[in-house]
């Protein structure tokens, strides 16, 4: 049991790490990774939604009729997204403003819906939580990695939390602004994917 739980958890960290292995949820990946702080924030928000919705759907999986299951999934996910939205508005308002529209858009981020359909609807609550936690953290790590690269090279800083940079490059460093723009996001993610492919599958 414990072994399989660990397996469900760790597969999200490497074997199926989104968005690299599991090419889902690209929009926020591109949009919010201008700074590490955003990446971490998004990761936490998604992890919360994913774990809660997975748990909920897994608990309700015998009640939800299969014909309207997608609608039910959407409502469940949307509910938790709204909760996250309200929580962030209350406690991390600055972050809420920078992430902006991408918090409500977690609803249509394919990861929670996809996991609900592919995993939680078929598995018990414990494994579902492990699955959600793993994938959520994996997603957060991916975002953080991409965000770190983009922030350091693009802005010359690294902000972990609270808006003030924890680390700043020497003033001689000329920031590579391209990485902060939309094309930079696309190219950066493309190169990251390439890197992951290089490291090898599994």
Partner 1 sequence: MGDLFVLVISCIFINNILLAQYLGNCPFLGTSKKMETAIGMAMAVIFVLVLAGGLTWILNEYMLKPMDVVYLQTLSFILVIAALVQFVEMFLKKSIPALYGSLGIYLPLITTNCAVLGVCLINIKEEYTFIESLVTSFAYAAGFGLALVLFAGVRERILLARVPKPLQDVSIGLITAGIIAMTFMSFKGMV
Residues within the interface to partner 1 (CB under 8 A): 23-28, 30-31, 70-71, 74-75, 78-79, 81-82, 85-86, 101, 104-105, 107-110, 113, 181-191, 193-195, 197-198
- Our CB check for partner 1 shows the closer of 130 and 143 to be 143
* Least distance between partner 1 and beta carbon 22 (Å): 11
* Least distance between partner 1 and beta carbon 27 (Å): 5
| Cis peptide bond N-terminal to 19, omega within 30 | yes
H-type helices in 109-181, by residue range? 110-115, 125-155
CB 47 within 8 A of CB 120: no
- Our CB check for partner 1 shows the closer of 15 and 26 to be 26
Positive or negative torsion for Cα 163, 143, 92, 99: positive
- Our CB check for partner 1 shows the closer of 161 and 186 to be 186
Strand partners, 167: 158
- Our CB check for partner 1 shows the closer of 70 and 118 to be 70
* Least distance between partner 1 and beta carbon 3 (Å): 32
- Our CB check for partner 1 shows the closer of 5 and 27 to be 27
CB 39 within 8 A of CB 140: yes
Whole-angstrom distance, CA of residue 142 vs CA of residue 17: 8
* Least distance between partner 1 and beta carbon 63 (Å): 19
CB 95 within 8 A of CB 110: no
* Least distance between partner 1 and beta carbon 191 (Å): 7
Q: Which of 165, 174, 129, 128 is nearest to 34 (CA)?
A: 165
- Our CB check for partner 1 shows the closer of 44 and 74 to be 74
* Least distance between partner 1 and beta carbon 94 (Å): 17
Q: Please report which helix (H) or strand (E) contains residue 187, including its range.
A: helix 182-199
φ and ψ at residue 127, rounded to 5 degrees: -65, -35
């Amino acid at each position: 049991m414990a072994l399989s739980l660990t397996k469900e958890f760790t597969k999200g960290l490497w074997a199926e790490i989104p968005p690299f292995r599991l090419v889902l949820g690209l929009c926020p990946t591109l949009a919010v990774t201008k700074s590490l702080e955003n990446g971490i924030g998004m990761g936490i928000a998604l992890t919360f939604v994913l774990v809660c919705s997975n748990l909920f759907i897994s608990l309700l999986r015998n009640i939800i009729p299969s014909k309207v299951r997608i609608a039910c999934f959407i409502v469940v996910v949307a509910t938790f997204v709204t909760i996250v939205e309200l929580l962030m508005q209350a406690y991390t308002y600055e972050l809420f403003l920078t992430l902006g529209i991408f918090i409500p858009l977690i609803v249509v981020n394919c990861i929670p819906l996809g996991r609900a359909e592919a995993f939680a609807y078929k598995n018990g609550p414990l494994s579902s939580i492990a699955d959600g936690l793993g994938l959520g953290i994996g997603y957060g790590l991916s975002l953080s990695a991409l965000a770190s690269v983009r922030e350091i090279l693009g802005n010359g800083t690294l902000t972990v939390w609270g808006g003030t940079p924890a680390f700043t490059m020497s003033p001689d460093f000329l920031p590579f602004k391209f990485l902060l723009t939309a094309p930079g996001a696309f190219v950066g993610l493309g190169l990251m994917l390439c890197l992951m492919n290089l490291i090898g599958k599994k």
